[in-house]
Amino acid sequence: MLLDAAHALMHTRSFDGDGLTGECRLDWHALIKRKRTFTDPRPIASKRWLASSNVTLLHGHAEMTDDETVSVDGEPIRAGTVVIATGARPAPLHIPGEDLLVTSDRFMELDHLPDSIVFVGGGYISFELATLAAAAGSKVTILHRGADVLKGFDPELAAMLVARYRGLGIDVMTGTEVLSLSASGRAVVLDTDQGPISATIAVHGAGRAPDVHRLNLAAAKVEFDERGVLVDERMRSISNPRIFAAGDAAAAGSALTPIAIRQGQVAAANILGGDQVFDDRGTPSVVFADPALARVGAMADDGPEADVIRTDMSSWFTQQRLGYQHAAAKVVVEKSSGRILGAHLLGPKADEVINVFAVAVRHRLTTEQLSDTVWAYPTAGSDIAYML
């Protein structure tokens, strides 16, 4: 909801002098108020739904005491099956002063936006929230210690997005490691290997980690690592068959909402006597930046058995009519069959177009089959035929 307002504003500004006149601005306080009309009722509605479904909801700190017992604030609960679905938390950075970092959850609850913001880490959280903050008028900086931002996405397309952000006035500093943070009056000072940087607030955008380390899983003989609980394809713990895990707490699949939902469905079905397996082939992932960066399936460098069809779309009508100058696509195709193995997109509407490629990857479609489709014109989907 927040990003839709920011993208609408950026879209409007791209037509300044080309058919649209007058000043359009983002009212952060009003935007947060509107967002809360959607988010605040959700917990209450969820509790009511659980109660109507005869689900007992307990609040407190939970941990395992043995392979069949969960203790909630010291009260033991025995069960034939336990599901671990504790999600993720901001990854610890192990640097002095990291407690001064504002979490992304907290950022989206700020009543007023600060004049200057530094995002630590070049992941999707930083790139999505940076667009929002810049649109609202804040001076925005992204610090990333590596050379390539947005790990897991195509590096060349990510670099194009960095160029777009810099053109918007967002300072993206790669190769910059944060060594420590300290408070100085009303500002936060970040000591980096490139020198000190100060801002009103600093936001944690350096990734999230499974929130499983406080569950005393060793007592239940549940094996886990930095990715979460180790599970099989049926979402069952590989070391304790009475324990299941799903979502960000499970070491399976990407940390995405639809993945968590699907894993929960698989776990529930198998607990009730079914035999389902988790299959995340063709699951797309999107950075809701400006413009969107999306991917599905194989990377462009996944091996000699594939061809990569590269397309510069920056001058295409689809981009020009929306006021964008940064757009490109890479489609990964199996040489022997023409089957589509993966796709990587940067541009407006990429978050929707990637779903077509997700269907192609999951159902083993070929470039010929996709090219044979007649698309509505001039939609972003109609560009697919020219990407193949």
Nearest-5° angle of CA 316, CA 317, CA 323? Answer: 95
pTM for this entry: 0.91
Render pLDDT for 207-265 as a digit per residue (tens, 0 to 9): 999 999 999 999 999 999 999 999 999 999 999 999 999 999 999 998 899 999 999 99
**Residue type (1 letter), 32:** I
Check residues 301 and 35 and name the one with the higher pLDDT: 35
User: Can you tell me the mean pLDDT for 325-336?
Assistant: 94
Render pLDDT for 125-173 as a digit per residue (tens, 0 to 9): 999 999 999 999 999 999 999 999 999 999 999 999 999 999 999 999 9
Q: What is d(CA 355, CA 350) in angstroms, rounded to the nearest whole number?
A: 9
User: Can you tell me the mean pLDDT for 268-285?
Assistant: 94
Domains, in order of start, for the chain: 58-87+211-271 (3.50.50.60), 92-206 (3.50.50.60), 285-386 (3.30.390.30)
